[in-house]
């Protein structure tokens, strides 16, 4: 686990509030995607509309934050744009995997992935940013690895949905932590890069008669809603990620998988003994992490006193 460090630039309480807000919103996102699935909107069309309708929302966020000049300046920074293209690619993989899983009754797989994700962040924080991983941290990560191993043995192969979600979003967080632009500007550039191919795909769906946007008022409304539903929490995440350590951000991230786990179980997804054992190991890793975080905070308070 990483040693406590000051959040760069800004009130750490605001960063925590932003982090909690984005994860609460993400915990409710599956309900919207399931509603779209019930209206026969495919994962690809949902993804494309997320990309397109996020762009105007991201532009508004840039203008409100008065970061238009920063966004225009990126025209002269191809290296930064290249990094944002990489983060855009990673979030695209994450989005498509998540949408497909939610609408194919695999919500528990997404929950497992996002329980693993914070522990992956801890490991990446230690490897890439030299955040100290103590004995408790090694135990937490080890329990997560054991949980994935149990799933792998039971399935006859790795839990791909869970691993793709965990690794793609961890990678996204790492890239955005390194890009020297504000959250709103980075999000706007990502949306700007993703919108053109999304528009091409939507046009192809319309031309082949497969689109649902023009044929269902409910689907159109929900697809339009995907814009703010996507851009706002992602902006909150990017803003928080630049002001919190990876392991601190991991702490609040447990909100989303807990919400999706409850949703999956309530909808009757199979929760077998093997799956229970796998989740049990992951939850044990989470518990160890939380105990370690509490102990560090207590030691810090004592030292300050």
Encode pLDDT of 1-25 as tens digits.
333 333 444 567 788 888 889 989 9
Instruction: Report pLDDT for 1.
Output: 33
176 belongs to a structural domain? yes
Range(s) of the domain holding residue 24: 12-304
Q: How many domains would you assign to the chain?
A: 1
34 belongs to a structural domain? yes
- Average pLDDT (23-30) is 92
248 belongs to a structural domain? yes
Cβ partners under 8 Å of residue 75, min gap 6: none
Indicate the range of 12-26, 104-118, 199-213, 237-251 predicted with least confidence. Answer: 237-251
1 belongs to a structural domain? no
Please determine, for residue 128, whether its predicted confidence score (pLDDT) is greater than 70.
Answer: yes
| CA angle 116–95–64, rounded 5-degree value | 105
pLDDT band at 250 (very low <50, low <70, confident <90, very high): low
- Average pLDDT (137-152) is 85
Q: How many beta carbons lie within 10 A of that of residue 233, not counting itself?
A: 21
4 belongs to a structural domain? no
6 belongs to a structural domain? no
pTM of the model: 0.83
3-class secondary structure, 244: coil
3 belongs to a structural domain? no
228 belongs to a structural domain? yes
Long-range contacts of 268-272 (CB under 8 A, 24+ apart): 269/105, 269/106, 269/107, 269/108, 271/108, 272/154
Cβ partners under 8 Å of residue 194, min gap 6: 51, 54, 88, 92
């Amino acid at each position: 686990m990483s040693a406590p460090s000051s959040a760069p630039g800004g009130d750490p309480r605001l960063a925590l509030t932003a982090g909690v807000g984005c994860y609460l919103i993400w915990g409710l996102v599956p309900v919207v995607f399931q509603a779209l699935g019930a209206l026969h909107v495919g994962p690809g069309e949902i993804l494309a509309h997320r990309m397109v309708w996020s762009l105007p929302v991201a532009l508004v966020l840039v203008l409100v934050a008065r970061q238009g000049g920063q966004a225009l300046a990126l025209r002269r920074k191809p290296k930064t744009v290249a990094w944002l293209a990489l983060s855009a690619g990673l979030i695209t993989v994450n989005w498509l995997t998540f949408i497909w899983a939610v609408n194919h009754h695999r919500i528990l797989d997404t929950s497992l992935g996002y329980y693993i994700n914070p522990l992956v962040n801890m490991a990446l924080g230690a490897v890439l940013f030299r955040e100290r991983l103590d004995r408790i941290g090694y135990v937490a990560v080890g329990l997560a690895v054991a949980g994935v191993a149990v799933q792998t043995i039971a399935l006859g192969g790795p839990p791909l949905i869970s691993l793709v979600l965990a690794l793609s979003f961890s990678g996204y967080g790492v890239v955005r932590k390194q890009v020297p632009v504000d959250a709103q500007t980075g999000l706007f550039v990502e949306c700007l890069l993703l919108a053109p191919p999304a528009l091409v795909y939507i046009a192809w769906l319309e031309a082949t008669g497969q689109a649902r946007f023009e044929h269902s008022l409910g689907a159109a409304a929900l697809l339009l809603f995907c814009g703010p539903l996507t851009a706002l929490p992602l902006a909150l995440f990017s803003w928080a990620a630049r002001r919190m350590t990876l392991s601190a951000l991991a702490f609040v991230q447990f909100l989303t998988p807990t919400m999706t786990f409850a949703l999956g179980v309530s909808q009757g997804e199979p929760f077998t003994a093997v799956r229970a054992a796998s989740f049990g190991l992951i939850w044990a890793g989470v518990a160890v992490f939380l105990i370690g975080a509490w102990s560090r905070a207590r030691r810090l308070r004592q030292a300050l006193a």
